[in-house]
Amino acid sequence: MRRFAHYIHRRKGDSTSSFSCEPSVIDARTQIWTCGVNDDAALGRITQDVPDPNNPGSFISVDDLTAVPHPLQSLIDEGFRAVTAVAGDSICAAVSDKGDLRVWGSFRVCLSDLTIV
């Protein structure tokens, strides 16, 4: 979380949420930023095989796409203005100023030592 806070300077109105390896931040513009492990699509964005706009024919490294916070462009494009967000082990969710819910990642529950659903 410290690394995340380094990139997203907290301002009045900013909010953070983290339970595990996928912290999320709502900035003062109500945009959601995520970083961390992208297991089960928990970051809500692609972190593999992303073309590098500064180097045609190359891809941005997975480390740069996961270690450095990035906004969720899909939510920005649809005009989603987050007011609250939560982050779990492999799932994140956010509620907008209009009460709309967005959830990404997956939910798995361990029923026993050997069973994952």
At residue 16, does pLDDT exceed 50?
yes
Higher-confidence residue of 40 and 49: namely 49
pLDDT at 33: 87
Q: How many CA atoms lie within 13 A of 60 on its CB side?
A: 15
Number of domains in the chain: 1
Kindly state whether residue 113 falls inside one of the protein's structural domains.
no
Whether 116 is covered by a domain: the verdict is: no
**Nearest Cα to 34, choosing from 80, 78, 88, 79?**
88
62 located within any domain: yes
Does 114 fall in a domain? no
Domain carrying residue 61: 2-105
Residue 111: inside a domain: no
Look at residue 93 in the predicted model and tell me its pLDDT.
Answer: 87
Does 25 map to a domain?
Answer: yes
Least confident of 22-26, 28-32, 33-37: 22-26
27 within some domain: yes
Asked if residue 34 belongs to a domain, the reply is yes
- Mean pLDDT value of segment 45-72: 90
Write the pLDDT tens digit of every residue in 74-101. Answer: 999 999 999 988 887 778 889 999 999 9
Q: 72, exposed or middle or buried, with CB in 10 Å at 0-12, 13-18, 19+?
A: buried
